[in-house]
Structure 1
Amino acid sequence: MYAPKPAVTQSRLTSTRNRRLWILSIVWVAVYFASLFSPPLLDDADATHAQAAATMARTGDYVTLYVNGIRYLEKAALPYWLAAADYRIFGFNSFATHLPLALGVGLLAALAYRWAKHAISQTAGFYAALATLTTTGVFLFTRIFIPEVLLSVFLCAALYCMLRGLETSRKGYFYGMWAALALAVMTKGLIGLVFPLGAAGVYLAITGEWRRWREFRVVTGGLLFLAIAAPWHILAGLRNTGGMNGHGFFWFYFINEHVLRFLGKRYPKDYNKLPGYLFWVLHLVWLFPWSLFLPVAVLDLWRNRKDYLRPKTFANQTMLLCGIYAALVLVFFSISTNQEYYTFPAYLPILLLITLSLARRESNVLRGRMMSAAHIVFAAIGFLIAGALFYGLWSSRHLPFEPSIGDLLAHRAVGNYTLSMSHFFDLTGASFAALRLPAALAMLAFAFGPAVAWNLRLHRRNTAGLAVIAFTMALFFIAAHIALVRFGSMLSCSQLADTANDLVATRRIEPNYQLMLYGDQSYGSSVIFYTDHRALLVNGRSSSLIFGSTFPDAPHIFLNSQDLLHTWGTGVRHLLFVPSDQHEEVEKLLGGHYVLLKETSGNSLITDRPLN
């Protein structure tokens, strides 16, 4: 038995709260806001989605998304509206593109704090927010312009409003739920309804709260939902008809992108599905380091399962709803086609399960041993990581520093990697020489942070120990971002775009040149974004632009090899982007009749005539 704690004054509680809010703010600024300014937009999804938002900002068409002049009908509009608004304010750059994502992380952490604080205590809120800011998956999947973090905010806000509405019977919470559901649909389609309504249905059936269905304001709330979500969908459907086989937006967006994608029959079939074992195991990585405490939450759920089946407290209601919702998301995407980041919306509910258990059960003897075991495992992992980094730094100590790591690794065909963490395989001795600063920071973080956290745990300073775990991850994320910047020349072709822009500025090439890309537009999507030139795609009619290219008014941007030969050297100047793995093919096709403008990380920019 522990001696009862002395009463805590209100001023001390306020001081503690303010200190913790400052800590959370500093972590967000250091990890998420400071990283908005670099690197430049990455090729593939990052710059492709940015093109759609940039076209909105330039044309004022906020209904139909366009990428390289082709209709891009597979995405909901809200994330692109936010980025387009940023472009009008801050210009067309990486900061404006990723600002909504950074703000989304801040909102997700604020929601975690409010939810856990109301459920348990201020300490629980601090744990939940800190875990949200320092979870690997949250950091990793906000490096590119994808809407998952915004979707998570709206979905979890809807669930929170539902619970608070049931608790207080205030209609404002239920209207907030309907509004959040509409914004979720405007962020990523029908899953904005499927996940929260599915979880809510199971929860209401288990608890018997379904009898209160009238309180949900189904009619007026449904009208609010339609007022927010319906107008864009209707306008997009009316403005985009007559595509492939007579199909338009409604078929492509609702049937192809939702139903057929789930069944693995989406057109075109350009999505991977992770193997089952990898899908589940990787979540331990995405939720690291807080996944180490997952056994605490699982045992808590099992031991108190009767309390959760008929929850009488807001904390137990939260545990039940979060468990149902997280299970629904994970099982759904284990069946459907999936990408690594698709289960992002389950992160916050799982983190709430973990942190609420930590906050409630720290004094429990068995649970205390499990927490200590998690600290020991974290210390062991930290020791191994620090040792590996030290070995890499020591083995590369005599190698020269190379600022452009992309030139070192161009021969490794990294563009063929499909998993987000595959670039760890590129950490050769030369790579460590180019990454000494981030590697040293990460080594120091893992060499000392886990050990200090374990020591604090041994002295029963649990809050301080968990905070040190979070600080360790924050420092590691800062190091990871520095490494990402060093990898920037390999992951983004913005330097080639800069070369073209500089040549125009110095009048060495004409501003009305014709940009061309060899292969799919995603290979050089950052070139299109930063030059603001529509590109002709040579042998690149593939991927997400196929359906949009079937509309009668679609521009003729797709060429074959013979078309390239016929146009090369005629008419206006042509600039051709060549991916690293297509050099031999282009060299054979053009027979050396080109001028090399710039080569970086194996990618090159060539032109069909000498410079002015």
Structure 2
Amino acid sequence: MLKKFYLLAGAVLGIIYIRGLYIPLMDNDAAHHANIALHMFLTGDFTSLVDQGQDYLDKPHLLFWLAAISYHIFGVSAFAYKLPSLLFSLLGIYSTYRLGKLLYSKEAGRLAAFILATCFSFVLANHDVRMDAILTSAIIFATWQLIAFADTMRWKNIILGSIGLALGFATKGIIGIAVPGIAVAVHLLYQQNWQTLFNPRWLLLPVFLFIFISPVLYCYYQQFDLHPEKVIRGQSNLSGIRFILWSQNVERLEGEKFGSVAKGDPFFFLHTFLWAFIPWSLLTLAAYWKRLKKFIEKKFRYNPEREIVTFGTATLVFIIISISNFKLPHYLNILLPLFAILLAGYLTGPLRNKQQTDLFITQIITACILLVFMIVLNLWVFPVRQWWVIILAMIPAMLYFGFQHEATRVQRIIMLSIATALMCNIFLSFSFYPQMLSYQAGDALADFVAKEHIDTRRIYYLQEHERSNSFEFCSATLLPEIPTAQVAALHQPCWIVTGERGREALINNKVSFKEAKQVFHYRVSRPKVNFLDPQSRVDQLSRFYLLSIEPGK
């Protein structure tokens, strides 16, 4: 019965993920990353990372390489940019299944895969694509392979594990190596398996790892170490290799340049987890609490029937990122597969009747809250415009009610949670996100430029004024900047893409222009309550312009 439900629910889930490929890119991060890959595609330079004409130091190459290659195959589009992340997500979901199967059972592994694939933050990572889907998948793949190697000492596992570590490193640096390393250390120390821990075969791991990360190190060396004269962030003599191996991690831990908004909140990742892992977050807290009590009761003595990989790794990494000063919500994504396996092991294990009842009531309340939230979003904030979206959203509910009569209480908990997640993501993917993104100026301006056949080679930004990453991506061009004072000196007609400050600067410099197009703009990746409220929305909007400049007029 549950297998049939998984099959049908999986088909609906596939529709949601495929739909995400066609949702426009959001400013700023997704479109920003896509434009770095666009520079690779347009110039053919796959060694250098260039952002808005400047050397880009912050993150390694993998996402940009994959996107640029995808542009070559499919053309420059949201589909092409997002597809590599979706393929990696499939690897991450499968790796979660395999690690869950290894640590618990096939049933637990299957459930863990569904938990990961339906939690809010993982779906969002495939709609608003940054580094997270690739990094999360690389980490859980490497963890699975290295735990398997620790248990079997098979050569293929250490080679594949090294590849997984290298993929994580090539996506976001040392964090891609650290998390699987913590998982293996926790696993072997808990078992007190000294023979495996000190097995000389582990010495091959850094050798393989160095070989696989060498392309990234080479690129950093070529772009930065060979050019000490370059000034990056106000500094010269910067070593790219030292940055990616050391300085990047120090910066994030100190929180001075990255993610410092919530550095004074030690509970930031706790309340982030509550919404990021919806609809599974409360169940996971129950599973975590039960596992914690068991370990404390047994004084953390080894029990072959109780794994510590998920609990121990999640706990240590959670503590590290919570006491550090770098705090952004998507940094929690790397732990989601571990939480999924921990919860799956809990739900497929022995549960007393009272526990089952309490968990079922908890999920009914969670489902009701999410349903009310969806009603507010899709009837008041952005009303659903297509009747078929409502019909599609009813399919998960029909699946749940169609199978519940022959299900156990635990199976009802699982099916209710999956059905709720599917229903919410259908409304978000097919109605809410597309309508919200209609307030992103870059897409509308790019459509106008294409329809009017405007030569993109004659379009500029004003230096030190507003830019639109989404406009550049949608028009498949990287715009040069021009100082405001030089616009009047141009000898050929041109166009300027700018915002309200840039338009005002042209007026102050007595530059004549015509408004070819004016559109509303809002940073949709950070929606605020006043924007979501239809009554106050217009007051939250700024304007972007496509201005026509004709010399001598």
TM-score (norm 1): 0.76
Distance 1:208 1:520 in 2: 60
CA displacement, residues 571-601 of structure 1 (integer Å, 9 cap, x when unaligned): 333322223x536734643557211111222
2:258 pairs with 1:258: no
The residue number in structure 1 matching 2:508 is: 589
Residues 1:300 and 1:96: Cα distance change in structure 2 (over 3 Å)? same
Residues 1:438 and 1:261: Cα distance change in structure 2 (over 3 Å)? farther
CA displacement, residues 104-139 of structure 1 (integer Å, 9 cap, x when unaligned): 222222122222234333332231111111101111
CA displacement, residues 488-522 of structure 1 (integer Å, 9 cap, x when unaligned): 2223512212322333x3xxx5554142156567x
2:522 pairs with 1:573: no
Tell me the number of residue pairs that the alignment of Structure 1 and Structure 2 aligns: 520
Distance 1:252 1:303 in 2: 41
Question: Is the 2:445–2:546 contact (alpha carbons within 8 Å) kept by the matching residues of 1?
Answer: yes
Distance 2:69 2:374 in 1: 43
The residue number in structure 1 matching 2:121 is: 137
CA displacement, residues 462-501 of structure 1 (integer Å, 9 cap, x when unaligned): 3254124212211211210121111222235122123223
Match of 2:7 among 22, 27, 35: 22
Higher alpha-carbon deviation: 168-177 or 124-133: 168-177
List aligned pairs for 1:499-514, cutoff 5 A: 499-503=448-452, 505=453, 509-510=454-455, 512-514=457-459
Q: Secondary structure of the equivalent of 1:361?
A: coil
After TM superposition, give the deviation of residue 55 of structure 1 in Å. Answer: 2.0
Distance 2:134 2:515 in 1: 42
Distance 1:46 1:340 in 2: 15
The residue number in structure 1 matching 2:277 is: 287
After TM superposition, give the deviation of residue 256 of structure 1 in Å. Answer: 4.3
Match of 2:443 among 494, 498, 501: 494
**Aligned-CA RMSD value:** 3.3
2:518 pairs with 1:599: yes
Unmatched runs of 5 consecutive residues or more in structure 2: 521-542
List aligned pairs for 1:174-253, cutoff 5 A: 174-215=158-199, 217-240=201-224, 241-242=227-228, 243-244=230-231, 245-253=236-244
Q: Secondary structure of the equivalent of 2:408?
A: coil
Q: Secondary structure of the equivalent of 2:317?
A: helix
Q: Secondary structure of the equivalent of 1:145?
A: coil
Distance 1:501 1:68 in 2: 22
After TM superposition, give the deviation of residue 254 of structure 1 in Å. Answer: 4.3
Distance 1:516 1:474 in 2: 41
Match of 1:480 among 420, 428, 434: 428
CA displacement, residues 160-214 of structure 1 (integer Å, 9 cap, x when unaligned): 2222223223232233222211221111111112222234334433331244234
The residue number in structure 1 matching 2:318 is: 330
Question: Is the 2:38–2:476 contact (alpha carbons within 8 Å) kept by the matching residues of 1?
Answer: no
Question: Is the 1:161–1:174 contact (alpha carbons within 8 Å) kept by the matching residues of 2?
Answer: yes
Question: Is the 1:379–1:451 contact (alpha carbons within 8 Å) kept by the matching residues of 2?
Answer: no
Which amino acid is the alignment partner of residue 328 of structure 1? L
Question: Is the 2:179–2:313 contact (alpha carbons within 8 Å) kept by the matching residues of 1?
Answer: yes
The residue number in structure 2 matching 1:33 is: 18
TM-score (norm 2): 0.84
The residue number in structure 2 matching 1:298 is: 288
2:475 pairs with 1:531: yes
Distance 1:458 1:297 in 2: 25
Higher alpha-carbon deviation: 300-309 or 42-51: 300-309
Match of 2:364 among 376, 384, 387: 376
Question: Is the 1:112–1:125 contact (alpha carbons within 8 Å) kept by the matching residues of 2?
Answer: yes
The residue number in structure 2 matching 1:171 is: 155
Match of 1:564 among 470, 477, 484: 484
Residues 1:96 and 1:193: Cα distance change in structure 2 (over 3 Å)? same
Distance 1:568 1:489 in 2: 33
After TM superposition, give the deviation of residue 348 of structure 1 in Å. Answer: 0.8
Residues 1:227 and 1:300: Cα distance change in structure 2 (over 3 Å)? same
After TM superposition, give the deviation of residue 16 of structure 1 in Å. Answer: 7.1
Distance 2:299 2:492 in 1: 70
After TM superposition, give the deviation of residue 441 of structure 1 in Å. Answer: 6.8
CA displacement, residues 444-463 of structure 1 (integer Å, 9 cap, x when unaligned): 689x689959x949963532
After TM superposition, give the deviation of residue 252 of structure 1 in Å. Answer: 4.6
Distance 1:465 1:451 in 2: 10
Q: Secondary structure of the equivalent of 1:578?
A: strand
Question: Is the 1:120–1:356 contact (alpha carbons within 8 Å) kept by the matching residues of 2?
Answer: yes
Distance 1:383 1:514 in 2: 46
Question: Is the 2:492–2:550 contact (alpha carbons within 8 Å) kept by the matching residues of 1?
Answer: no
Higher alpha-carbon deviation: 593-602 or 365-374: 365-374
